[in-house]
Amino acid sequence: MPVLSKESRITKTKALKPSEFIPTLCAALERELARLNEYNDKEEFPWDSVKALAPLGAWGMLFPKKYGGLGLGHVEYTKALEEFGRIDSSLALTAESHNSLCGSTILRFGNEEQRKKYLPKMARGMMGAWALTEPEAGSDAKSLKTKAELKNDSWVLNGSKTFTTQGSVAGVYVIFASTTPGAEGRGISAFVAEPGPGLTIGKTEKKMGLRASDTAQLHLVDLKLPKENLLGDLNRGFPIAMQILEAGRVAISGVSIGMARGAIEWTLKETMRRGGDEARGRSLRKRWAGENPGLTATQKIIAQHTAKLHAVRMLTHYAAQLIDEGKPFSFYASLAKLLSGELAMQAATEMLDILGDEARFMDNHVTKLFRDAKLYQIGEGTSEIQAMLIYRHLSSNLDLLLKP
């Protein structure tokens, strides 16, 4: 497709009620599936699909209506991300990172001028990117090397970022940099930036999965930002990043749930299309003689993963409800992130076993979900990090074993 300017991709948003949004979104995503698969095959960012979903409000789900958003609560937002994950996990990651990471940082920690400047454009489809990860600072974000120095009332940033989602297509960036050398987590600040001199796009990653999700390196060489582009308080960037990631874990769990649901749904439809259960020869229990095979391996696998799906969804919605109520939620966010990421990978893997020979084809929907699922055990805090955080919570409060 022809390369469009970022401004030309911005579209006005319809005034949908929250109760109307999810079914409308679901129908729109179904219509976009074939086109999204083409973008996935070509490893291109799906600008056409972004533009198609912009009038519904998909790019401003969490933003208040006064900034052009839908003003959804986190429960409804998580449900919407499940629909994204079921259809296309590349576009789901775009929606989640755009809303939960870049957008939420500006919304929660930006000043009113910054919110008015960026959020309405983001709600209409201008992409946002969140640049924290560096080649030597992944899970250990305190050790980032990018520096920001205040010179003549301007911030000057130098360093590199890696694995930046929407890195090469964004119209606005949230960038984290060290403003007090040697202070680690106590000396990091957040900045808002736009494409321009000093911000160069490096390598765009070619990935096993999430092939239509843009992932790029950023090189900052004397990137000059106005003094007022500081987001939040000076040297408070690390707590800002951790708060944003905590809520992001709940959101990205919605995507993982959608992926697991999609894998189960597509596999179940295929086994039914074949005329029932082809796994009769693998029956685990025969209760009756004759035609009835009893409980088969296929039935058991699908039933077990469906039970896990419902349990993890309830946990994730509980964590989202706590966010909406302004109550502590970080323990449940880590539980949801750990279990949902593992479920997405396990469900996709075992559904491929059921599909058998069909699993070897690249255009199989479950095969695509399988390739994509690994990221959801890694992004916004790996499964290992979540396990560590869960243990820390429990070691200081054993009552958490009794709740909710």
Q: Record the tokens describing residue 203, joined without a space.
A: 């390598």
Q: In this structure, are residues 2 and 51 in contact, taking their beta carbons and an 8 Å threshold?
A: no
Does residue 380 carry a catalytic annotation?
yes
Residue 134: both structure tokens together: 């560096």
**Of 205, 270, 342, 380, which is the active-site residue?**
380
In terms of Cα–Cα distance, which of 83, 382, 78, 380 is closest to 261? 83
Question: Distance between CA atoms of 275 and 280, rounded to whole angstroms?
Answer: 12
Q: Can you tell me the distance from the alpha carbon of 176 to that of 166, in angstroms, rounded to the nearest whole number?
A: 16
- Residue 193 has a CB neighbour count (10 Å cut-off) of 24
> Pick from 198, 201, 188, 202: which is nearest to 225 by CA?
198
21 Cβ neighbours under 8 A, 6+ residues apart: 56, 57, 61, 70, 72, 76, 80
What single-letter DSSP state applies at residue 381?
S
Answer whether 370's CB lies under 8 Å from 364's CB: no
Query: Can you tell me whether residue 288 is helix, strand or coil?
Result: coil
Which two tokens mark 101? 């990471």
| Catalytic sites, residue numbers | 380
